[in-house]
Chains A and B, each alone.
Chain A
Amino acid sequence: MYTPELLELIKRVEATRERRLDEEFPLLSADAKQELLEGFHPDYKDEVFSELRVGPSKGERTPTEYARVFEAYSGLDPDGFDLSKVDFDVDVLIVGGGGAGAAAALVAQEQGANVLVVTKLRLGDSNTVMAQGGIQGADKPNDSPAIHYLDVLGGGHYKNDPELAKALVMDAPEALAWLEKLGVMFDKESDGTMITIHGGGTSRKRMHAARDFTGGEIMKTLKDEMLNRDVPLVEFAAVYELLTDGDRVTGAVLYNMETQEYLIVRAKTTILATGGGGRLHVMGFPTSNHYGATADGLVLGYRVGAPLQYLDTIQYHPTGAAYPEQILGLLVTEKVRSIGGQITNTEGDRFVYELETRDVEAAAVIRECLGRKKGVVTPSGQPAVWLDTVVIEKKLGEGAVKARVPAMYRQYERFGIDMAKHPILIYPTQHYQNGGLEINERCETPVPGLYAAGEVAGGIHGTNRLMGNSLLDVVVFGRRAGVAAAAQAAGIKTAGGLGLDHLKNYHAALKAAGVEPTNVSPMLLPEYRRAATVERKIELLA
């Protein structure tokens, strides 16, 4: 429900709507984009970052919240930790039950590998399930992988690893066909033609969708298929440390999140598919991410020697919900803008083309609020601008909002806001980690036996990912990781010994760098309890 004050402000947006209907708003020039990013995007602010003092990417910078989990000791004492009883002995261990993990598991098992999927929450609990807008793929006659590639590179500021970007776009048609065959309910015309729309930074309409539950529908299908094929799975089991033999990853320490028991996995190859780190809340930003997005996989990989790539770039999704407070930070899918939604300031004027790349769009919103002071301030003090959704109804006809973005419509309806009748308030939210562990096109990290796929990996999207390329990424690289890890495992007789020497070395490096022993990671879940409760918490059940 809007307050009377906000309803009053909405009148200004209504007053300009007719004029805006057919208004063409120009794209920014390359120079204007650069100036905007340097002025207002958090990635361009030095105070956001800390330089890493230990590990394979020592000397590089990451957001301070990330640096804190890298520069931390394990909760396990590597001296005397009993690794003698092996609970699972497998070919391929897949850490993470989101889109990348599920794709990897299905494909690796098809290759004949004996796989094990472990996830710290439920199978499917991931950012994949929350991805709404769509999945890219150049499959229309006016499009090509080359045109897609150019969009990916330009959007990523040409920092992308060319081989990874090539793999992304070249595998896209096959990835879509795989999903279609598994029975993902894509939006289609009656003759089977996929309904595709634009996303920010796309030059062709190549966003395929399943209404606005695209990732959810993909995840539900992959999950169902995993259960149908009886893929071995342990839920509520976090990997707390990887195990090594020399420089090779040979398994993992699992932690049963419910019984607090630990279990040992021996694996010939291991795929990290653990997702991102929105729940670290860089600079205190709200996040659109899943509860489990705590960057734990990055820490695991980093401790065994996998370097980071572009972890100094975070994607702030331009349109996070800014009001009501209960849904602060949740995503308002880019699809709302793809189908015609317009962003305006408090005066009802547009100030940026709605489908600029996400970094540019987010910076423009921040500038409008903090720089030009033309934003709205919500009752809780949150800066915001309007996303005029009513204009979609004017353009596409009555009922279009509910039909095209039903999840969004319902989300706002729950709080007494009808998006078809009133605009909504938005502000950037921490959405995606553009960088991650360094991989090659087979998803191999430089650490033998260790693979990474999905958001935990870096380099694919350069320093800014486009909408719809993350769902594509998890499917393409999940499948690639599954193929490669299964193939490598097939050539290995036994996994090797299980040890924590890498952790001893890491701890020694932390100590030498003067890191306080009170810093512990990986973080398995964020802490959202009231501080007053946490302060008085004691453990007496033991």
Chain B
Amino acid sequence: MAEQMVTIYVMGKPYEVPGDLTIMKAMEYAGYRFVRGCGCRGAFCGACGTVYRTKDDYRLKVGLACQEVVQDEMYLAEIPFFPGNKATYDIEDLKPTADAILSLYPEVFRCLSCNTCTKACPQDIEVMEYIQAALRGDIAKAADLSFDCILCGLCASRCPAEIVQYQVALLCRRLYSRHVAAEAPHLKDRLKEMADGTFNDEMDKLTKMKQADLAELYNNRDMEPRG
């Protein structure tokens, strides 16, 4: 099968690459060996945030190099790192309020509602919406909206107010999970049982059991229905 070749400009320099490759694989095809700018290769880690433009279009677009397929006349640059501010805190000491957010990240106040962050998100997250939610103290909403964030940092790289959205998002999710969502009652109960040694005898018996007896138990164990 003949490959359809296209020209991409990696940081301005042209390379001929097969047109069906992702940006990452195309760069490797061209001869780049990644140390930075390549992580999970599956859209989970945020190492390969990429900004690009296509010919005759002034608009900047974003994508993940591991997911975005190259186009002819694509001008691209990976942004594998962004020097964003990271506040440090003890999650135990915080309350899930706007005050907590603003004391750690006062720059959130500066949000201009320009929505550039949302346009810069390769995960299609409503970034400005969750920043606004955080600003209102709606931590649950900020946590929910930001859930798919992979910390690539492209939002922060484009923000005129120098907000580090992805860090605010992570703070909101931790605040929500630690201080808003109810603790799992069954987990607490189980921890007490563990501390009381409820399962110790049974476990000791099992760890000493012969394979044939284990197999007998395993093959006849009752299964909780899947539905």
In the assembly, what is the distance between CA of A215 and CA of B147, in Å?
13
Asked whether B58 is an interface residue with its Cβ less than 8 Å from the other chain, the reply is: no
Q: Does A410 contact B45, Cβ atoms closer than 8 Å?
A: no
Asked, given contacts A141-B186, A146-B203, A150-B218, whether A173 binds B194 with beta carbons under 8 Å apart, the answer is yes
A407 CB contacts on chain B under 8 angstroms: 43-44, 148
Q: Could you say which residues of chain B place their CB within 8 Å of the CB of A471? A: none
The 0/1 profile, CB within 8 Å of A marked 1, for residues 16-59 of chain B is: 00001110010011111111101111111101000000000000
Residue contact A170 to B203, C-beta cutoff 8 Å? yes
* Of A10-18, A45-53, A186-194, A246-254, the one with at least 4 CB within 8 A of chain B: A186-194
User: Bound complex: CA of A211 vs CA of B214, how far in Å?
Assistant: 34
Q: Is A437 an interface residue (CB 8 A)?
A: no
Cβ-defined contact, A129 with B224, below 8 A: no
Expressed in whole angstroms, the Cα–Cα distance for A185 and B139 within the complex equals 12
Q: Which of A144, A166, A185, A205 contacts B147 (CB 8 A)?
A: A185
Q: Across the interface, do A331 and B91 meet the contact criterion of CB distance under 8 Å? A: no
Given contacts A158-B214, A410-B123, contact A193 B40 (CB under 8 A): no
With the chains together, A17 CA to B207 CA distance in Å?
44
Stretch at the interface among A100-108, A223-231, A484-492, A499-507: A223-231
Give A149 Cβ to nearest chain B Cβ, in Å.
5
Indicate if B11 sits at the interface (CB-CB under 8 A): no
Judge if B226 is at the interface, Cβ distance under 8 Å.
yes
A204 to B190, CA, bound (A): 15
| Interface: B185 (CB within 8 A) | yes
- B-chain residues with CB within 8 Å of residue A227 when the two chains form the complex: 86, 88
Q: Is the CB of A125 within 8 A of B40?
A: yes
Contact with A along B202-222 (1 / 0, CB 8 A): 110011100100110111011
Report the minimum CB–CB distance from B34 to chain A (whole Å). Answer: 7
Task: Select which of B22, B33, B207, B215 is within 8 A of A529 by beta carbon.
Answer: B33
Q: A525 is contacted by which of B33, B177, B202 (Cβ under 8 Å)?
A: B33
Q: Which of A199-217 contact B (CB under 8 A)?
A: 203-205, 210-211, 213, 215-217
Among B111-119, B130-138, B167-175, the stretch in contact with A? B167-175
Q: Is A414 an interface residue (CB 8 A)?
A: yes
Segment at the B interface, from A36-44, A175-183, A310-318, A359-367: A175-183
B69 at the interface (CB under 8 A from A): yes
Question: Is B194's CB under 8 angstroms from A170's CB?
Answer: yes
B74 within 8 A of A: no
B47 and A122 form a contact (CB under 8 A): yes
Which residues of A224-242 have CB atoms within 8 Å of chain B's CB atoms? 224-225, 227-228, 230, 236
Cβ of A496 within 8 Å of any chain B Cβ, yes or no, is no
Residues from chain B with Cβ under 8 Å of A257 in the complex: 35
For B43, the chain A residues whose CB sits under 8 A away are: 407, 410-411
Q: Does residue B2 face the partner (Cβ distance < 8 Å to A)? A: no
User: Whole-angstrom distance from the CB of A113 to the nearest CB of chain B?
Assistant: 20
Q: What interface size band does chain B fall in?
A: 35 or more
> How far, in whole Å, are A165 and B218 apart by their CA atoms in the complex?
15
Contact A130 B20 (CB under 8 A): no
Which of A153, A165, A180 is in CB contact (< 8 Å) with B187? A180
A205 to B223, CA, bound (A): 9
Chain A residues with CB below 8 A from B100, complex form: none
- Decide yes or no: A213 and B44 within 8 Å by CB, A146-B203, A227-B88, A528-B28 being known contacts: yes
Interfacial chain B residues near A406, Cβ < 8 Å:
147-148
A203 contacts B221, C-beta separation under 8 Å: yes
Tell me how far the C-beta of B202 lies from the nearest C-beta in chain A, rounded to whole angstroms: 5
Question: Nearest-CB distance from B191 to chain A (Å)?
Answer: 5
Within 8 A of B (CB), among A499-526: 525
| Contact B185–A192 (Cβ < 8 Å) | yes
**Distance between Cα atoms of A326 and B24 in the complex (Å):** 10
Shortest CB-to-CB span from B13 to chain A, Å, is: 14
Q: In the bound complex, do residue B22 and residue A170 qualify as a contact, i.e. CB atoms below 8 Å apart?
A: no
Among B89-106, those with CB < 8 Å from A are: 89-91
Q: How many Å lie between the Cα of A515 and that of B147 in the bound state? A: 50
Q: Are B174 and A180 interface neighbours, CB within 8 A? A: no
**At the interface, yes or no: A221 with Cβ under 8 Å from chain B?**
yes
CB distance from A44 to the nearest CB of B (A): 19
Contact B123 A193 (CB under 8 A): no
User: Which residue from chain A places its CB closest to the CB of B185 in the assembled complex?
Assistant: A192
- The 8 Å CB contact of B41, one of A211, A228, A236, A290, is A290
B33-A527 in contact (CB<8A): yes
Min distance, Cβ A199 to any Cβ of chain B, angstroms: 11
Does residue B7 face the partner (Cβ distance < 8 Å to A)?
no
Q: Which residues does chain B contribute within 8 Å of A151, judged by CB atoms?
A: 218, 221
B28 touches A191 (CB 8 A): no
Task: State whether the Cβ of A35 lies closer than 8 Å to any Cβ in chain B.
Answer: no
Bound form: Cα–Cα A184–B175 in Å: 9
B-side residues, CB < 8 A to A, are 20-22, 25, 28-36, 38-45, 47, 67-69, 86, 88-91, 123-124, 143, 147-148, 150-151, 170, 173-178, 181-191, 194, 199, 202-203, 206-208, 211, 214-215, 217-219, 221-224, 226
Residues of A at the B interface (CB closer than 8 Å) are: 30, 121-122, 124-125, 129-130, 132, 138-142, 144-147, 149-151, 153-154, 158, 162-163, 165-166, 169-170, 173-174, 176-177, 180-186, 188, 190-194, 198, 203-205, 210-211, 213, 215-217, 220-221, 224-225, 227-228, 230, 236, 257-258, 288, 290-291, 325-327, 330-331, 338, 340, 355, 406-407, 410-411, 414-415, 525, 527-530, 533, 537
Q: Please give 19 more A-B residue pairs, beta carbons under 8 A apart, in addition to A228-B89, A528-B28.
A: A129-B40, A139-B187, A153-B214, A154-B219, A158-B211, A176-B187, A183-B174, A194-B187, A217-B147, A221-B170, A258-B36, A290-B39, A291-B38, A331-B42, A340-B226, A411-B42, A525-B34, A528-B25, A530-B29
Would you mind naming 14 contact pairs between A and B with Cβ atoms under 8 Å apart? Answer: A124-B45, A150-B214, A166-B206, A173-B194, A184-B177, A188-B181, A192-B181, A211-B148, A213-B44, A291-B38, A326-B20, A326-B22, A529-B28, A530-B29
Ranked nearest first, the 9 interchain pairs of A and B with the lowest CB-CB distance are A192-B182, A183-B174, A154-B218, A183-B178, A533-B31, A162-B207, A183-B177, A528-B28, A139-B190
